[in-house]
Amino acid sequence: MSSRPVPLIPPRLRAILVRVPFLVPIVRFVRKSASKDSHLLIALVVVSLLIGVLGVQISTRWFSPSLLILVTLVAGLQLRLRSLMTLLVAVAASVTYLGITYGARQVGPGFLLTMAFTVVLAGLMSRTRGTLGVQGLRGDAMLLELRDRLKRQSELPSLPKAWGGKVVLKQAGGSSFGGDFVVSMREGTRVELAVVDVSGKGVDAGTRALLLSGTFGGLLGSVSDFLGACNAYLRRQREGEGFVTAVHLSLDLATGAYEITSAGHPPVVKFDSGTGTWRVSTAKGVVLGVVPDLACEPDRGTLRKGDALMLYTDGLIEQPGRDIDAGLDRLLGEAERLLPGGFSKSARQLVNSMSSGHNDDCALVLIWRP
């Protein structure tokens, strides 16, 4: 036995709607467009028409015209732009019906102005999400997932008990995305990490940082010349996307031997527990993506018990109107004051102290031998 399809608009409701002459064409359009439009569009159209009809037939206290604002906002989040335009016809019909019946008492200038603003906002949301090819809150969920992946990638790998490590990231304006990021990996006793600074700050630099973090993370540990491979990759990209600086650390956990290479990045500093002072690394090189042959001068040494290495971005030492050397001196002074109380506990305090008074992305990595 074949069952009859359930009508999208119940017969009783249809009988009420057709009593209003100018709603008849809309009801017919909704019925004909059932095969083309989503079920949500049909439901929102019916709800919009119900608000207008029941507001007149029963009471506007229970079916207030302001409910149409909520319907329009939901449509802006969930519907495509073409479907939204269809819904707005039903919303306009309900508003017109209520206005003819009650006049300015229920549909006054304030309500119409608010409704017009809501329609524009819903149209912008629908158009933006339609361009991205996502509807509803899927686009926000994708960004949250990308943010979480970037944070997980910035975490240091597990280290033996004889070692300690700390990563602190602070983005400009309190944003979840920024131009500074960290990539790291561990294979046996070998640990490699890179601190990267993309030109710009905050969300503007966050999109490039998301792209480069995946690329640089894949190159780390896979090639012998990490910065050279990153430079070759950036040279193949389109020009005019800004510069990128990076510093690379390769550390042997068994012996404490390390090698530092830098590409236009602020110098790494080493804490010598024997003298209780900080020494500036001599590693230097050209900014990534500028010259075809990246000639870097590495700095090699050994971390003994009590020693530490500090890698950071220019957001900690650069301030408007202040020389970069003065910023480096201030960073070392704050490090001498805070870090003796414990590297892990004082790292966040050091970043907050150095970044106060200016708005820039900051990244700090500490590796030490207790």
What's the pLDDT at 189?
Answer: 92
Kindly report, residue by residue over 237-257, the tens digit of the pLDDT: 866 566 889 999 999 999 999
- Residue 306 in 3-state DSSP? coil
Instruction: Judge if 171 and 319 occupy the same domain.
Output: yes
What whole-number distance in Å separates Cα of residue 327 and Cα of residue 320? Answer: 11
Q: State residue 203's pLDDT score.
A: 64
User: 161 with 276, same domain?
Assistant: yes
pLDDT for 111 equals 82
We report the CATH number of the domain holding residue 154 as 3.60.40.10
Q: Are strands 244-252 and 257-263 parallel, antiparallel or unpaired?
A: antiparallel
Give dist(CA 131, CA 258) in Å, integer: 48
Q: What is the pLDDT of residue 8?
A: 46
In a domain, 301, yes or no: yes
pTM over 0.85: no
Mark whether 292 and 360 lie in a shared domain: yes
Last residue of a domain, one of 132, 164, 190: 132
* Pair 125, 164 in one domain: no
How far apart are the C-alpha atoms of 185 and 174, rounded to whole Å? 27
Please state whether beta strands 362-368 and 164-170 pair in parallel, antiparallel, or not at all (unpaired). antiparallel
- Token reading at 240: 């005019």
Q: For residue 30, what are the domain limits?
A: 11-132
What is the C-alpha separation between 361 and 171, in angstroms, rounded? Answer: 4
Q: Are residues 99 and 28 in the same domain?
A: yes
Number of domains in the chain: 2
DSSP 15: H
Q: Is residue 6 in some structural domain?
A: no
3-state secondary structure of 344: helix
Say what the alpha-carbon torsion angle 55, 57, 58, 62 is, to the nearest 10 degrees. Answer: -10
Phi, psi of 301 (to 5 degrees): -175, -165
**Quick one: 281 and 155 in the same domain?**
yes
Same domain (yes/no): 50, 146: no
Instruction: Give CA–CA dist 369/351, Å, rounded.
Output: 21
Buried b (16+ CB within 10 A) or exposed e, 123-138: bebbeebbeeeebeee
Residue type, 225: D
pLDDT in tens, the chain (370 residues): 444 544 545 555 555 555 555 555 555 554 554 444 467 888 888 888 888 888 888 877 788 888 898 899 888 888 888 888 888 998 988 888 888 887 766 777 888 888 899 999 988 888 877 776 666 566 666 767 777 777 777 788 899 988 999 998 887 766 666 778 899 999 999 999 999 988 776 666 777 887 888 889 889 988 889 999 999 988 888 665 668 899 999 999 999 999 999 999 999 999 988 888 889 999 989 999 888 888 888 999 999 998 999 999 888 887 766 677 788 888 888 888 877 767 777 888 888 888 766 677 888 999 998 8
Instruction: Based on the fold, state whether residues 170 and 108 are members of the same structural domain.
Output: no
In the three-class reduction of DSSP (H, G, I as helix; E, B as strand; rest coil), residue 82 is classed as: helix
On whether residue 67 sits in a domain, the answer given is yes
Task: Tell me, yes or no, whether 208 and 84 share the same domain.
Answer: no
Regarding whether 360 and 256 lie in a shared domain, the answer is yes
- Tell me which residue of 315, 308, 306, 307 sits closest to 351, measured CA to CA: 315
**In a shared domain, residues 39 and 165:** no
Beta strands in the chain (DSSP E): 164-170, 180-187, 190-198, 244-252, 257-263, 269-272, 277-280, 299-302, 308-312, 362-368
**164 and 294 in a common domain:** yes
Residue 281: which residues within 8 A CB-CB, separation 6 or more? 260, 262, 267, 268, 269, 270, 299
Q: Is residue 137 part of a domain?
A: no
Does 271 map to a domain? yes
Backbone angles phi, psi at 255, to 5 degrees: -110, -20
